[in-house]
Chains A and B, each alone.
Chain A
């Protein structure tokens, strides 16, 4: 597949390229539920003292991905519902938990390959590995048909891929070697932005020595950093086996786990957006109190989003700490006033995908976005903007109509499964239809129906075999 669609929104509030370390707070709130994980199996008890890297909880639905303790502290399960609260914190690493005895046991039992995978899973590196097509965590014991390592991230207001890469280039290449050691002969694709800079040349120079790394140059246009789009571009099919997608921080976590046998406990996230007091990249432990971030970096009357502005989820007051899979916290200011005759204004200050505003005569400029929908919900007029912007090559307007008709078979036939949930269709729609939300819900419904159908088929098969046995 050729790259198609996509759109770079020009925005104000980019986080820039510097990374700031944050001091340990007094208390940490580790959310048990996050966008992709649900740590429902608790491993720590109320009042227990835990050390750096101890397992606090596990996600039984996701290959027992652990929730690790970022520091030494005392567990409090009652302070905030839905969270593990850590108090009396200290980051004295001498107390840290070592896996030594256990590791030797595992080594004897599973061999060195098994040991590596065990380390990755239990040292918190595995949660960075994603299945390219489904976005789920792959089975740590499986072998993929290929691995895609992406060095960049394009969604507005998230930390750029090169921020970490610049600081840890050596660790990154070592991580790639570790990643390769997990594979037999399968290739690693390194997705790299199509830009010319000294840094890019330096990385290319470093990579040239590795015959098993294939460089893929990708245009800098959102959302071409999506693993699904890159795999489709390379021609890797979902049906022929799993494809792992790993970001820079994933490679660094793998390096940390396999070289130093140390858990990856800190997250590099962006705190940015048009509603942020200042846009920065922060390195902080998971569970860092959100109220602190909101007070320090968020403007009044702005909403906080876990993730980027296009695909993130709203951070309500129930969520008290930075989730484990957080990639950035985006602040978007609330729309307060209502513009008089807004639709008639020439629109010099409005960036639009269409050319219906006079801003299209000006050169590019960043606009301060707000969370206003900027219009009313209307029936689809088939203007075709969603299809133009769609990077997956599907027809969002037609899918919307089929969902409206509740025709699930046709929705599947029109390949809703290829949707990468980039949010561009909802962003550009002049009728203000929540296309991405509808597609997300529909995909869930289809998944559920398939599960039910599979369960029924299994039941019938069991019945048949039972009657045959009789």
Chain B
């Protein structure tokens, strides 16, 4: 490792201002600091700092997503791997290009976006659509607003929303019947050639004909859906890990899931014929995945704890409204987008109350 560090030390002047490759300094810095912990020292108080940095913070989200990646590999086969690679490559390219143009360091946020994005796509989405959607999401959802930390929307959701609106036919017919048995589809590669044979609808679509068994939905067996959302068990594994590390805020998760289940249960009480039970909706579609991994994005959700409760309840209620009373069968995507829009307003409301309380001090 010492050799590598020496190489870095030797070539770093080329990337400094006035050097030959000064233009791509952000890229070089990212690689150097990826390999070796940054050498910066505290120049002003406090003279020692907590070991947590943004790299670690984002890594936690990636670790939290791994159970879902494993589940999607099992259910939908090897195609998941190229989808993730394509997503990372396009998202990363957009991020790097923008960092170079802006002369700002590359932020680690795209590491999460690049992994979440394929996980919220139907399993048979063509790779060019993955690339297009991811590029659109990172560009419009994040870079246009000024990069990580300043984005209003969750970039992955913006990308998916774009695909749903631009290619509704492909997006609604790319479902794949998941594998089962010991190996699942681990040894298969679902391509556009054999997709027709195994296309199947998601439980939310099938609900129009009859409800899927809830225990199947918990495990994800025989349930079609987006890559990451099928197995509630795996989402819980990763999601609870995120809650324990304090990276995802439990208030958001609890309020979304709680309000959605309670609201749906009330509807079910009123008219059991038309509305499914509350717990059924909890395991169906992207509600759980969205609640654990997407709505908890700290940048696009309200920054205050009280605001997070309001934000979660808003999303939970909207998702049930969309699922039951609109033309769409799944509403998590739009619910989170609407929540993102409301987040700054919610924050303003909480701020004004807090400032009024502080005024007396």
* A interface with B by C-beta (< 8 Å): 1, 232, 237, 303, 305, 307, 309-314, 330, 332, 334-335, 338-344, 347, 350-357, 369-385, 387, 393-395, 397-398, 413-415, 418, 423, 426-432, 434, 436-437
Secondary structure of the A contact surface, majority rule: loop
Cα distance A49–B169 when bound, in Å?
96
The answer to whether B1 touches A343, judged by C-beta atoms less than 8 angstroms apart, is no
Q: Does B258 contact A (CB under 8 A)?
A: no
Closest approach, in angstroms, between the C-beta of B353 and any C-beta of chain A? 12
CB-CB under 8 A for A303 and B47, given A343-B55, A379-B148: yes
Across the interface, which residues of A come within 8 angstroms of B245, CB to CB? 354-356
CB-CB < 8 A to B299: which residues of A?
Answer: 381-382
- Partner pick for A374 among B29, B49, B351, CB 8 A cutoff: B49
B303 touches which of A311, A353, A395, A436 (Cβ 8 Å):
A395
Nearest CB on A from B312, distance (A): 15
Q: Distance (Å) between the CB of B37 and the closest chain A CB?
A: 4
In the complex, whether B48 has a CB less than 8 A from a CB of chain A is yes
**Chain B residues within an 8 Å CB radius of A311:** 45-46
Given contacts A371-B41, A398-B303, A414-B355, 15 further A-B contacts (CB under 8 A): A309-B46, A309-B48, A311-B46, A332-B47, A343-B59, A371-B47, A372-B42, A373-B41, A377-B40, A379-B107, A379-B150, A380-B149, A384-B304, A427-B50, A430-B56
Q: Would you call B53 and A338 a contact (CB within 8 A)?
A: no
Residues of A within 8 A of B354 (CB): 395
The answer to whether A376 touches B51 (Cβ under 8 A) is no
**A101–B45 Cα gap in the complex (Å)?**
47
**Alpha-carbon distance between A2 and B38 when the two chains are bound, in angstroms:** 39
With a cutoff of 8 Å between Cβ atoms, the chain A residues found around residue B52 in the complex are 352-354, 356-357, 374-375, 385, 428, 430
C-alpha gap A456/B4 in the complex (Å): 61
Of all A-B residue pairs in the complex, the 3 with the closest CB atoms, nearest first, are A375-B53, A379-B149, A342-B37
Contact B355 A232 (CB under 8 A): no
Q: Is B49 within 8 A of A356, CB to CB?
A: no
Q: Does B194 contact A (CB under 8 A)?
A: no
- Which of A332, A352, A377, A378 is the most central at the interface, judged by chain B CB atoms within 10 Å of its CB? A378
Complex Cα distance A352/B57, Å?
A: 12
Contacts of B303 on A, CB cut-off 8 Å?
382, 384, 387, 395, 397-398
The answer to whether B149 and A393 have CB atoms under 8 Å apart is no
CB atoms of A383 and B107 under 8 A apart: no
**B285-324 vs A, Cβ < 8 Å mask (1 yes, 0 no):** 0000000000000110101110000000000000000000
Given that A372-B42, A382-B298 are contacting pairs, would A332 and B57 also be in contact in the complex, using a CB cutoff of 8 Å?
no
| 26 A-B interface contacts by CB (under 8 A) | A232-B361, A303-B47, A310-B47, A311-B45, A335-B39, A338-B5, A339-B36, A340-B4, A341-B34, A343-B53, A343-B59, A347-B51, A352-B51, A355-B244, A356-B245, A356-B247, A372-B41, A374-B53, A376-B33, A377-B40, A381-B148, A387-B303, A395-B354, A429-B50, A430-B54, A430-B56
B11 part of interface (Cβ distance < 8 Å): no
Query: Does any Cβ of A come within 8 Å of B35's Cβ?
Result: yes
A373→B42 contact, CB < 8 A: yes
In the assembled complex, the CB of B361 is this many whole angstroms from the nearest CB of chain A, namely 6
Q: Total A-B residue pairs with C-beta atoms closer than 8 Å?
A: 204
Nearest CB in chain A to that of B57: its residue: A430
The answer to whether the Cβ of B103 comes within 8 Å of any Cβ in the partner chain is no
Give Cα A177–Cα B5 distance, bound, in whole angstroms. Answer: 64
Chain B neighbourhood of A418, CB < 8 A: 358, 361
Whole-angstrom CA separation of A314 from B184 in the bound complex: 61
Most buried by B among A232, A309, A356, A377: A356
Mark each residue of chain B from 228 to 246: 1 if its CB lies under 8 Å from any CB of chain A, else 0.
0000000000000000111
> Is B114's CB within 8 Å of the partner chain A?
no
Contacts of B35 in A (CB 8 A): 340-341
B361 with A237: CB separation less than 8 A: yes
Residues of B within 8 A of A383 (CB): 57, 247, 298
Q: Does B105 have its Cβ within 8 Å of any Cβ on chain A?
A: yes
The answer to whether the Cβ of B60 comes within 8 Å of any Cβ in the partner chain is yes
Assembled-state Cα–Cα distance A433/B33 (Å): 17
Contact of A372 among B49, B55, B108, B355 (CB under 8 A): B49
CA distance A132 to B355 in the complex (A): 22
Residues of A within 8 A of B178 (CB): none
Give the complex CA separation of A380 and B299 in angstroms.
Answer: 8
Asked if B46 and A436 make an inter-chain contact with CB atoms under 8 angstroms apart, the answer reads yes
In the assembled complex, the CB of A120 is this many whole angstroms from the nearest CB of chain B, namely 30
Q: Are B358 and A381 in contact (CB under 8 A)?
A: no
- Find residues 10-49 in chain B having any chain A CB closer than 8 Å to their own CB: 29, 33-42, 44-49
Bound together, the chains give a CA A206 to CA B54 distance in angstroms of 51
Bound-state CA distance A354–B299 (Å) is 18
Tell me, in angstroms, the Cα distance from A60 to B24 when the chains sit together.
Answer: 54
Contacts of A431 in B (CB 8 A): 53-54, 149
- Report A-chain residues with C-beta under 8 Å of the C-beta of B122: none
B4 to chain A, nearest CB (A): 8
Point out which of B147, B149, B246 has the most chain A C-beta atoms below 10 A from its C-beta. Answer: B246
Chain B, range 144-193, C-beta contacts under 8 Å to A: 147-150
B249 at the interface (CB under 8 A from A): yes
Given contacts A384-B298, A414-B355, A426-B46, contact A334 B150 (CB under 8 A): no
B161 CB to closest chain A CB (Å) equals 22
A375 in contact with B361 given A342-B36, A355-B245 (CB within 8 Å): no
The answer to whether B47 and A305 touch across the interface, beta carbons within 8 angstroms, is yes
Q: Which chain B positions have C-beta within 8 A of A312?
A: 45, 47
Contacts of B1 in A (CB 8 A): 340
CB pair B50–A344 under 8 Å, yes or no, is no
* Contact partners of A377 in chain B: CB under 8 A: 40, 105
Across the interface, do B298 and A423 meet the contact criterion of CB distance under 8 Å? no
A340 adjacent to B304 (CB under 8 Å): no
Chain B 127-158 interface mask (CB, 8 Å, partner A; 1/0)? 00000000000000000000111100000000
B5 touches A436 (CB 8 A): no
Distance in Å from the Cβ of B147 to the closest Cβ of chain A?
Answer: 7
Q: How far is the CA of A295 from the CA of B56 in the complex (A)?
A: 38
**Given A375-B54, A382-B299, A398-B351, does the pair A309, B38 have CB atoms closer than 8 Å?**
no
Distance in Å from the Cβ of B131 to the closest Cβ of chain A?
Answer: 26
Q: In the complex the two chains form, what is the Cα distance from A353 to B149 in whole Å? A: 21
Interchain CB contact under 8 A, B361 and A381: no
Contact A334 B41 (CB under 8 A): yes
**A384 x B56 contact (CB < 8 A):** no
The residues of A that contact B4 with a CB separation of less than 8 Å are 340
Instruction: Find chain A residues with CB under 8 A from B358 CB.
Output: 393-394, 415, 418
What is the distance, in angstroms, from A19's C-beta to the closest C-beta of chain B? 25
Q: B37 contacts which chain A residues (CB < 8 A)?
A: 338-339, 342-343, 372, 374
Which residues of chain B are near A310, meaning CB under 8 Å?
A: 45-47
Chain B residue with Cβ nearest A238:
B361
Q: What is the bound-complex CA distance between A373 and B109, given in angstroms?
A: 20
Q: In the complex, A340→B57 CA distance in Å?
A: 18
Instruction: Please report the C-alpha to C-alpha distance between residue A351 and residue B49 in the assembled complex, in whole angstroms.
Output: 10
How far, in whole Å, are A294 and B136 apart by their CA atoms in the complex?
Answer: 58
Give complex CA distance A303, B148 in Å: 34
Q: Bound complex: CA of A431 vs CA of B58, how far in Å?
A: 11
Contact between A356 and B60, CB atoms less than 8 A apart: yes
